[in-house]
Amino acid sequence: MAEHTLLEAVNLALRRALGDDDRVLVFGEDVGVGGGVFRATQGLMQAFGPKRVFDTPLAETLIAGMAIGLAAQGFRPVAEIQFMGFIYSTLDQLINHASRLRTRTRGRLTCPMVLRAPYGGGVHAPEHHSESTEALFAHVPGLRVVIPSSPKMAYGLLLSAIRDPDPVVFLEPKRLYRAAKEAFEDDGEGAPLDRCLVRREGNDCTLVSWGASMKETLAAAAQLAEKGVESDVIDVCTLKPLDVTTIVESVARSGRLVIVHEAARTAGFGAEIAARVADVGLYHLRAPIMRVTGYDTVMPLSRLERHYMPNAARIQAAVERSLASD
């Protein structure tokens, strides 16, 4: 069983989807000849031809609109936006058209498209290249928002997203693109959407995160375990629709909840998780819900990033505060 990076897993999933289904198209800025700015689509145009994998102009609104039109006519387009900081001009198309097509046509048309984008910090990129605004998309009815945190998950979740009959925003944590390898088979099996994944088990606290922040969350859980504190670590995977049941079941055992994300704190998706747990699981809590997040500023440049993003020490401190507030 071969080992792959998350970036290679994305490429494998796209290659598998293109080979399995003639309706799948892959396009975006520089994804064809150049293989993408991160090389996620490297070799695909050469393997499947320029009618299946092709470059577009530098026009994100056009990319999203073309994906919607193709999806409405029976194709399964996978469109790439180079960086999440360039994704905002697609909001008009996604909110007013992609997310509403099924409802607008009373089910006569659907929109089986995937909009991929690298997101998040950690690679010392300039402004507009380190965005983490997943909560914007999770707020839109009719959109799925999927974020993998490991190579195997990236492979399976992307395949399932491409096969889904409705629009999916698929955000890839670029800090993890080449960070580690994981062994899995290129067997074409999709991973379940709309479910959280329990990455570590323990009854003392529930830690919830997603994307690149899972790395620090798991590291904090391992360090806490050395002190005798065992935590459930839950990877959200699909932010919308949210599998709140898995989270609440864990909180019912632990009585504590710490949510971790690198997005800015105000109106980040962690606030939605906290509200949903409070709605149905308030009486399970033995301590206030805590959030370890980025700050309400633009991601700082270069090495200052490390002061912005949650780290294992900040997560540990939040868990210890929760335990102390019994």
CA 106 to chain centre: 29
**Residue 233, beta-bridge partner list:** 200, 207
Residue 97 known to be catalytic: no
Closest to 220 (Cα-Cα) out of 318, 132, 102: 318
What stretch of H or E contains 72?
helix 60-72
Instruction: Kindly name the residue from 97, 129, 261, 284 that is annotated as catalytic.
Output: 129
CA–CA separation, 247 and 204 (whole Å): 14
Inter-axis angle of helices 213-225 and 312-324, to 10 degrees?
A: 50
CA–CA separation, 20 and 84 (whole Å): 28
**Residue 54, beta-bridge partner list:** 27
Is 94 exposed, middle or buried (CB count within 10 Å of its CB: 0-12, 13-18, 19+)? buried
* Bridging pattern class, strands 114-119 and 53-55: unpaired
Token pair in block for residue 38: 């991160």
- Known catalytic residues are 129
